[in-house]
A and B are shown apart, each in its own frame.
Chain A
Amino acid sequence: MATYTLLPLPWAGAPAIFATTLAALCSPNASDPDIGTISTIVASNPDGGVGLRQIGEGSTILQAITSGSGPGGYVPNITFYLQDDGSIPSGATITSVTVRVRVKASAAANLDFLGPHQPFQLFSHGSYSLGGTSVAASAASAIGSTYSFIETDPLTVNPATGTPWLRADLFSDGNVDAVGNGAWFLYILPTNFNNSVEFDYAALEVIAGGTPMQWCYNPTSNHYVFAAECPGPPFISVAPPTIAITGFSPRST
């Protein structure tokens, strides 16, 4: 059984900018009680495979599935779903998403990434593409005995759609039994998974960055404005207003 340690949300101390880690895949063994079906073991791996755990407070992986197997043992694919935990401020504009994988490899490998809803895919050496938009990332630092992070450049748009990120892009829409409905799909396939490349530990983080918004009120004009920064006096920062509709004119009833 793994011991979970919730990491602090890094955006809390950075006004006007946030970057929050939504979830991670970084359990040191395959007996993680939260993941159940993830039991694929990587050969010669003392850590015993991969697992999912939450890393951001409240971030929850709703479901995880693995399938396939290979000679020598490898992690074929993992489908999982993120639950909106509110760590991205309400109404915030998501300006970038970084996908980060934690690996240890015994030989050089190139890793590429695809976006969610396609879904997200990871493959090695560039020789096994599943289609879609890919973002290359170097795996050079993953060579050796220590774990390394390999991450994409900040993705300013969802590679699967080509449009700016929406909150809904990151999270499950509730239809968790179908890949592509808010699912993330991590595909790990070393080109030579028998011998030369060993992924004995994999982790995935989704780091969303952007600009938090706030409510501002102008008591002179009796206006609420939702903005990154209040326009200045007489505007003051206030709590989000609660909408109430009391009637219509001319009266309909």
Chain B
Amino acid sequence: MITIHGSGFGDGATVTFDGLPATDVVVHDQTRITCTPPAHADGFVTVVVTNPDGTTGELADTFVYTTLSVTPAVGPIAGGTTLTLTISDGGAGITWFQNY
């Protein structure tokens, strides 16, 4: 579930990610929509909000699908295993920041 921020969202608006419809769309007010994005390959997508009168607003190349994997999947109880986190962004070229 994600939240889309903006303005001009009307009750009954729909959302698509690269043309695929989102589910569980709830228009909380004219500035906020929550929804569940559809399954999609890693990479940037264009998000489009469509109001009931057919008018649309979109934001391209801002929302990105990623896949996070951790290896190895298991390790000894004693610990000491070095974990590798791999983030796939479909070639979007995202810069990731690490917080300690």
Q: By DSSP majority rule, is chain B's interface helix, strand, loop, or mixed?
A: strand
Interchain CA distance A162-B2 in the complex, whole Å: 38
Of B29, B54, B57, B63, the contact of A91 (CB 8 Å cutoff): B54
Q: A221-B29, A223-B30, A248-B2 are in contact. Are A242 and B54 (CB under 8 A)?
A: no
Chain B residues lying within 8 Å of A221, measured Cβ to Cβ, are 29
B75 within 8 A of A: no
Q: Which residues of A lie under 8 Å from residue B7 when comparing CB positions?
A: 241-244, 246
Q: Given the known A-B contacts A222-B31, A253-B64, are A243 and B55 also in contact in the complex, defined by CB atoms under 8 Å?
A: yes
Interface string of B40-65 (1 = CB under 8 A from A): 00000001010111111111001110
Smallest distance from the beta carbon of B7 to chain A beta carbons, Å?
5
A143 within 8 A of B: no
Interface contact A90-B57, CB-CB below 8 Å: no
Q: What 0/1 readout, one digit per residue, does chain A (239-253) give for beta carbons within 8 Å of chain B?
A: 011111111111011
CA distance A247 to B64 in the complex (A): 12
CB-CB contacts below 8 Å: A192-224 with B: 213, 215, 217, 221-224
CB contacts (< 8 Å) of B52 on chain A: these are: 91, 213, 226
* Complex interface: chain A residues within 8 A of B62 (CB): 247-248, 252-253
The listed residue (B6, B27, B29) touching A245 by CB distance below 8 A is B6
Q: A118 to chain B: closest CB distance in Å?
A: 26
Chain B residues contacting A65 (CB-CB under 8 Å) are none
B5→A248 contact, CB < 8 A: yes
B2 touches A249 (CB 8 A): yes
Instruction: Give B6's nearest chain A residue, CB to CB.
Output: A245
- Please tell me if the beta carbons of B5 and A241 are within 8 angstroms of each other in the complex: no
Q: Which residue of B lies closest to A89 (CB)?
A: B53
Contacts of B8 in A (CB 8 A): 224, 241-244
CA distance A248 to B12 in the complex (A): 19
A224 touching B57 by the CB < 8 A rule?
no
The answer to whether A225 and B64 touch across the interface, beta carbons within 8 angstroms, is: no
The count of residues in chain B whose C-beta lies closer than 8 Å to any C-beta of chain A is 32
Q: Which of A225, A226, A250, A252 has the most CB of B within 10 A?
A: A252
B10 CB-CB contact with A under 8 Å = yes
B94 touches A245 (CB 8 A): no
User: Which residue of chain A is the closest to B11 with respect to CB atoms?
Assistant: A225
| Cβ of B12 to closest chain A Cβ, rounded Å | 7
In the complex, residue of chain B having the shortest beta-carbon distance to the beta carbon of A91: B53
Residues in B whose Cβ lies below 8 Å from that of A248: 2-5, 47, 62-63
Besides the known contacts A223-B30, A241-B30, 8 further A-B residue pairs in the complex with CB atoms under 8 A apart: A90-B55, A225-B11, A242-B55, A243-B7, A244-B57, A245-B59, A246-B59, A247-B62
Q: What would be 15 A-B contacts, judged by CB atoms less than 8 Å apart?
A: A91-B53, A213-B52, A215-B10, A215-B53, A222-B30, A223-B27, A226-B52, A242-B8, A242-B55, A243-B9, A243-B13, A245-B57, A245-B58, A249-B3, A252-B64
Q: Which residues of A contact B63 (CB under 8 A)?
A: 248, 252-253
Give bound CA distance, A166 to B92, whole Å.
39
